[in-house]
Amino acid sequence: MPDDTIGIDISKATLDIHRLSDGKMMSFSNCPAGFKALSKFCAQTTVTRVVYEATGAYHGGLERALGA
């Protein structure tokens, strides 16, 4: 599996994801169930970095989930 970068655009309701290696795009809910689905998506490759736009307070839950 290639090393990979995941880009995330965060909004109140959604996390819009782009995987650099293959250009795959997905959208997940910005909630615990969405964080779990995002984790499964990221497990498909070796993620070396996650880049995201911190928008207001909407990135806090994602940060806690990624840190766990």
Give residue 16's pLDDT. 96
Beta-strand pair 25-29/14-19:
antiparallel
Q: What is the pLDDT of residues 10-28, one digit of tens each?
A: 999 999 999 998 999 999 9
**Rounded mean pLDDT, 41-65:** 87
How far is residue 12's CA from residue 33's CA, in Å, rounded to a whole number?
14
Q: Show me where the domains of the chain are located.
A: 4-67
Average pLDDT, the chain: 89
Give residue 1's pLDDT. 54
